[in-house]
Amino acid sequence: MFRISAFLAATLCAVTVSTLNPATAQERRVPASQADIRLSYAPIVQRVAPAVVNVYAAKVVQNRNPLLDDPIFRRFFGMPGQQPEQMQRSLGSGVMVDPSGLVVTNNHVIEGADQVKVALADKREFEAEIVLKDSRTDLAVLRLKGVHEKFPTLDFSNSDELQVGDVVIAIGNPFGVGQTVTHGIISALARTQVGISDYQFFIQTDAAINPGNSGGALVDMTGRLAGINTAIFSRSGGSQGIGFAIPANMVRVVVASARNGGKAVKRPWLGARLQAVTPDIAETIGLKAPTGALVASVTAGSPAARAGLKLSDLIVSIDGQPVEDPNAFDYRFATRPLGGTSQLEVQRNGKLIKLTVPLETAPDTGRDEIVITARSPFQGAKVANISPALADELHLDSSVEGVVVTALADDGMAANVGFKKGDIILSVNNKKIGKTADLEQAVTESRRLWRITLVRNGQQIQVTLGG
């Protein structure tokens, strides 16, 4: 799986209509003549291409030679102690979504960047600041620096209205060759087993997209943004006709947070852990097919609990839209506006009932996030107390008490011994770890043997490590 970039979702025969009225919904019909087939995408491309940009990111990295860590080696061979630096660059695409100079792209395009530049279709370049990064969706929002003009933008479509078979156009900068336009069709919707980001719900297309397209635009034939291209499935590194885009309805949520000055995206919190319905479970509860999201646990006092959601309830729809699996529910729930309510249709004991869930954010107090620096198996791990917001972010059971690993330094001991993001530390050397201060205290003891109890993917594990 390679991450990538841009396409434009389009519908072939709406070209004439859409050039007259961009806001008109897509018209869908089969070409009736050779003249219909010869219709050109040029009017749409000319209108939307100026809003698709190139994104250049650069960061300084050290060429680390482990021999240079040894002062005797450096002195013997007369080598300097400071290790050489190298500029690492990446190239992607982006979409202008606000005339003031707001650009949306993929988070993986600018991740770790020290410098970001944006090049417009007219070849002008601007430095950009990172306004917001959202690793959960693999989206980031940039703002051009020092600009005093209005830029062309793309409006958002309602990506839930897209249909398999709609013609699509991809615009981006594949392999750095310059702005390129390709077309295809939407091959599938609601792809949930792609493994790119937390919200597994992607538009699939056969429009040719390649490395360098990441962050580019997927537009429909009315010239509106239908999605942000993010990844391709490829065995060669080039396009093989399987590309994935983040739907515009999710992009809209991230951009709205950036416009409002937020540094993080605020989303509704359900307060329940969901699991997929397997064929065995479907047979047990009398379903014709393994579909829906099964409630595995409910957090006390959460929106789910207040709405009356219970253990073993099966969520089959949200606001009238079907729920195929937990990933589909997560996506649809995350795109709902805060402050209102959503209607869940739930199967309970063979009967369908409706529940009203308030749309509010999860409490996020008392994380007390720290990095473990003491020599121990945890050295290089960033850990935090489990809050409802963090449990939601990492898909944890918020009823579990303990300290969770939120990040790992690549060269740290914790990464080397096999700890993973999302591991919940319950005890160290038979001492309960209830908060980060407990773990910080536990690792100050010099030991040859470490006995650790943790929870990973819902399973409790006993680990013994040498100090």
pLDDT at position 198 is 60
- What integer is the mean pLDDT of 27-54? 82
Q: Is the pLDDT of residue 149 over 90?
A: yes
Q: How far apart are CA 171 and CA 214, in angstroms?
A: 10
Q: Is the pLDDT of residue 22 over 80?
A: no
Active-site residue identified among 134, 138, 325, 423: 138
Secondary structure of residue 315 in the 3-state scheme: strand
pLDDT tens figures, 427-436: 999 899 999 9
Q: How far apart are CA 405 and CA 382, in angstroms?
A: 6
Beta bridge partners of 344: 318, 355
**CATH of region 2-19+39-50+153-259:** 2.40.10.10
Active-site residue identified among 5, 18, 90, 108: 108
Active-site residue identified among 214, 234, 302, 376: 214
Architecture of domain 370-466: Roll (2.30)
* Catalytic (active site) residue 108: yes
Confidence of residue 172 (pLDDT cuts 50, 70, 90): confident
pLDDT at position 191 is 64
Share of the chain above pLDDT 70, in %: 82
Q: Where are the domains of the chain?
A: 2-19+39-50+153-259, 52-144, 272-358, 370-466
Architecture of domain 52-144: Beta Barrel (2.40)
Q: Using DSSP, how many helices (H) and how many strands (E) does the chain show?
A: 12, 27
- What integer is the mean pLDDT of 368-386? 91
Crossing angle (nearest 10°) for helices 326-334 and 248-259 = 40
Secondary structure of residue 185 in the 3-state scheme: strand
* Residue indicated by tokens 């008109």: 24
Confidence of residue 1 (pLDDT cuts 50, 70, 90): very low
pLDDT at position 452 is 92
Mean residue pLDDT across the chain: 82
Q: How far apart are CA 166 and CA 189, in angstroms?
A: 11
Residue 182 contacts residue 6 (beta carbons within 8 Å): no
Q: Which CATH number fits domain 272-358: 3.20.20.240, 3.40.50.300, 1.20.140.10, 2.30.42.10?
A: 2.30.42.10
* Catalytic (active site) residue 236: no
Q: Is the pLDDT of residue 196 over 60?
A: no
* Catalytic (active site) residue 198: no
pLDDT at position 193 is 59
Is 365 buried (19+), middle (13-18) or exposed (0-12) by CB count in 10 A? exposed
pLDDT tens figures, 66-120: 555 555 555 555 555 555 566 667 788 999 999 999 999 999 999 888 899 999 9
pLDDT at position 313 is 95
Instruction: Give the pTM.
Output: 0.75
- What integer is the mean pLDDT of 34-56? 86
Q: Is the pLDDT of residue 207 over 60?
A: yes
pLDDT at position 388 is 85
Are 52-144 and 272-358 in the same CATH fold? no
Confidence of residue 438 (pLDDT cuts 50, 70, 90): very high
Q: Is the pLDDT of residue 402 over 50?
A: yes
Confidence of residue 24 (pLDDT cuts 50, 70, 90): very low
pLDDT tens figures, 378-389: 999 999 998 888
pLDDT at position 17 is 29
pLDDT tens figures, 229-267: 887 665 666 656 678 889 999 999 999 989 888 888 888
Residue 319 contacts residue 342 (beta carbons within 8 Å): yes
Q: Pick the range with the lowest mean pLDDT from 45-54, 321-330, 343-352, 390-399.
A: 390-399
